[in-house]
Structure formats: C-alpha cells, structure tokens
Chains A and B, each alone.
Chain A
Amino acid sequence: MTDVVTLRDLHKSFGPLKVLDGISLTARAGETIAIIGASGSGKSTMLRCIPLLEVPERGDITIGDETIRMNTARGGRAPADSAQVNRLRGQLGFVFQSFNLWAHMTVLENVIEAPVHVHKRPRNEVVDEAMALLEKVGLAEKCEAYPAHLSGGQQQRAAIARALAMRPKALLFDEPTSALDPELVGEVLGVIKGLAEEGRTMLIVTHEMGFAAEVASRAIFLHAGRIEEEGSPRQIFAEPTSDRTRQFIRRYLERA
C-alpha cells in the first residue's frame, strides 16, 4: 500500500513547553487512523504539523512522495519553499473543531473557493462537483445559505464538503464534533463514517471512542507528546498494554 502521510521524528515546543517529543507515524492509503489522548497531550499540534500550520523544530513531513523542505535560519526553522508548502496543503483537506467557514461566502462559495482560486480549475466543472459533494453531506438545498444561518452540524458538514472539494490525498479532522451540541454530533459522525467506508485516507483526532472503535482501522494513543500505544482500535480499547492507555480508557468509560 502507498504511504500518503509520513511523519518522521517530529519535535515541537511552545517556549519551554515540549508538546511533541518525537512522533513518527505513517498513514497508508485507505487507512482511517483515530488519534486519542488526554487534553493537552499534543493531538492538535501533531495534526496541525502535517499541513505546516505548526512548524516542527525537528523531523520531516512527507505528503505522498514529496518531503517538505525546511531551512534552519536565524529565527528558527522554516519551510524552504512556501510555494511547495502551499501546493502540498492543496493536496490535503483539513476540518477544524470550530468549522472556520468563511462568513462572507455562501456554502457553495465556501466549497468552490480553493478549487477555483488555489487549484485554478474551471469554475463550472468545480460547481458541479461541489454540488455533488453537498448532496453527499446532505446540504444540497442549503448551498445558497450563509454559514451564520446554519446549525453547527450543518456548518461542520459544509466544512467537510469544502475539505473534500480539495480532492485530498488525506483528510485531517481535529475534534470535528467537540464544538457541537450533543444532538448534532450524530449527523457529522455519520458523514465521516461514510467517508471511511469509501476508503478515504483519514486522520481523526476525537474523543468519541465508540465512533473511533467503529470506523478506525488503527488507533493511536498520545501521551505527553509521544505515541504511547498504537494498534487496532479493538486492541487499544479492549486490551491496552500500557497502564496510561488503560487509565485513560477507564476514565473515559466511567464518565460515559
């Protein structure tokens, strides 16, 4: 199987705070990887390093077969070629916890924005594809609505359609349902589950353990900026080998 996203020995600190302490991970085509861990364990930071929203001090990021080139300059480490970074970002789809739709654009305009203005694809071709994607996430009839007039669940489904419109090699989700009212979580998880069944390559940071157990092909437990344990969701949730994983799962089950 081909490797879609490869992280090699990522290190990242914010000031004195070490957040990633040597993360290596490969997502192969068609895999759905669930990333779990306590709040503050570095899940978001790790995910944000992939499109270089955070720049790791050490380590390499490879998208497809292209490794992001870095320079170590006076002010620290930075990408050597911003055009390369932009191009590789254009091969990913990122879904934020807080949706981050563009408020001045309709749902449809949000979805076609990057394909038209970043990928420079012909507008009418993109619109057709975007409408099909909105259909898929159940928002076709809301295509002319503005984000402010949508519920949180609808906004997140629009954001997923926007990510899919990138024709991404991999989809990255950072707690896609954490900002939603409980009754809206299901509709978003349903859409993501559908994507997993299509065989999309996905990395999903989530606290929805039942969902992770159901859709993930692999689960990763992060602790203090390291991968503490990794395995099939079954193994991680039912028979964790690490004490920390066991503790985390037990605490989660007690709360639920």
Chain B
Amino acid sequence: MDLAFLGETLLRLASAIPTTLELAFVSVSIGLALALLLALLRASSVIGAACVRAYVFVFRGSPLLVQIFLIYYGLGQFDAVRESFLWPFLRRPWWCAILALALNTAAYGSEIIRGGLAAVPAGSIEAGRVAGMSRFTLYRRIVLPLALRQALPAYGSEIIIMVKSTSLASIITITELTGTARQIVSDSFRAIEVFVCAGLIYLAINFVLTRAVLLLERTLTPHARGVPR
C-alpha cells in the first residue's frame, strides 16, 4: 500500500468536500421550500393536485442525469432563456446542477410531506379550528409542525440520497468530490484507491448527516419517545 499516495489523494479529495456539501445544501434548501409549496398546492384544489401529480411524475419518473443534461445543454437552445435575467445563472454549470437537483428533490420531498400531512390527526385540526385559529395560524402552529415531524425520518433519507446525487454534477464539469476523484484517476491511473477514498468520504458525510437527523428527530419529537407515566 502506498500510504503517501493515499494521504495525498485524501487531501485533494477533502478540498472538494465544500463543493459537494454546498451543492447538497443549496439544492436541498431550495428543494424543501419547493416541496412544501407543492405539497400545499396538492392539498389545495383539484387543478393544483393534477399539476403537482404531473410534476412529480415527470421528475420522479425520469433519470436525474437526463434532467441535468436537459437543463445544461437544453435551456441554452431557447432564445427566451438566453435573453432572460436568468441566463447569467443558467449558463453556469453550477446553477444548472443546483436547478436540476432542487427540482428533482422537490418532487420526492413533496410526496414525503404529503404523507406527513395525511398523518396529521383530524382531531388536532378540529381542535385548532374550534379554538378560532385562522387557516394560516392553523397551518403554521398545528398542521405543518405535526406533518414535518412525521416526515422527518423519510426526509432524512432523501437528504442522504441528495448528497450522493451531487456526484452526477461532475458530468457537467463541476469538480466536486467525484469530479475531483476522476481528475486524480486520469493523472495517476489508480482508480481503485482513489474511488475507495471518495466512497469513504461520502460514507463519512452521510454518517454525520444520519446522526444529525436523528438528533433533530429526538429534539423535535420528545412526545414520540417512550417515557414512563
């Protein structure tokens, strides 16, 4: 084993961790906001529900890689896009990756939140209504807190999937973790060591994330833990 090479590789890969984390964090944040809107839209009206179902079908039913390609190579084909205020963003690979990742996770996220909304007890909603809560207060204080707590474990898995999905951004020239690994491989021709190192780093990130989500679950849902009476 060439420890010097491994050390050097890990160091170079580590310098790409911020890019990977940034991609994941920004796309999950935008995706969560979008997922919330989609889930609420889905619950709001028949037309809203149909639109959201179509959206989810498209983004869940097609490969993320294809979505990234379409956004990166496809959007520039339209004059309207090139002339719009969004073009300074959309011509950059980074924002194309963010857009694809966010739209994709929003589809999955909206389904997770929908499940959470469906699990809110009717009696809790009724208790809020009968106390005189407006619709807005009811959602802010009762429905969403209960739904999001319910959705948290599944959303944790989705975040981990997103961390792994950021590796696809390497295809459109972004040198995040996987992209950097590929560069090192093309310089050194030592694929196994390099990708094992990259894999270990993903594992480490996701180990920390899993713990963090568990901790969040524990603090947000003390009522769900078995405490003796």
Contact = CB atoms under 8 A, between A and B. Distances in A.
Contacts of B134: 82-83, 86
A30 interface: no
Interface string B113-153: 00000000101101111111110010001100110010000
Given A102-B142, A103-B146, A149-B227, A114 B131 contact: yes
Contacts of B124: 100, 102-103
B123 A96 contact: yes
Given A102-B124, A103-B124, A94 B130 contact: yes
Most buried by A among B131, B149, B227: B131
A89 B129 contact: yes
B46 to A, nearest CB: 14
B132 A118 contact: yes
B132 A86 contact: yes
B74 interface: no
A117 B141 contact: yes
Interface stretch (B4-12, B32-40, B218-226): B218-226
Contacts of A87: 132
B131 A150 contact: no
A203 to B, nearest CB: 14
Measured as residues with beta carbon below 8 angstroms from the partner, the interface class of chain B is 20 to 34
Contacts of A94: 127, 130-131
Interface string A46-77: 00000101000000000000000000000000
A96 B132 CA distance: 15
A90 B131 contact: yes
B131 A89 contact: yes
A90 B128 CA distance: 10
Contacts of A166: 131-132
A102 B133 contact: no
Given A102-B124, A146-B222, A89 B130 contact: yes
A100 B223 contact: no
Contacts of A92: 130
A113 interface: yes
B148 to A, nearest CB: 10
Nearest to B142: A102
B212 to A, nearest CB: 20
A104 interface: yes
Nearest to A83: B134
B96 to A, nearest CB: 39
B131 A118 contact: yes
A79 to B, nearest CB: 12
Contacts of B142: 102
Contact of B146 (A104, A146, A148): A104
Contacts of A102: 124, 127-128, 142, 146
Most buried by A among B130, B220, B221, B222: B130
Given A94-B130, A99-B123, A113-B131, 19 more contacts: A53-B129, A82-B134, A86-B132, A89-B132, A94-B131, A96-B126, A96-B127, A98-B123, A100-B123, A101-B127, A104-B149, A104-B220, A104-B221, A104-B223, A118-B133, A146-B227, A149-B223, A149-B227, A149-B228
Q: Return the 8 tightest CB-CB contacts between A and B, nearest first.
A: A90-B132, A146-B223, A100-B123, A89-B132, A114-B131, A100-B127, A86-B132, A94-B130
Interface of A: 51, 53, 82-83, 86-90, 92, 94, 96, 98-104, 113-114, 117-118, 146-151, 166
13 contacts: A53-B126, A82-B134, A89-B130, A90-B131, A99-B123, A100-B121, A102-B142, A103-B223, A104-B146, A117-B137, A146-B227, A151-B229, A166-B132
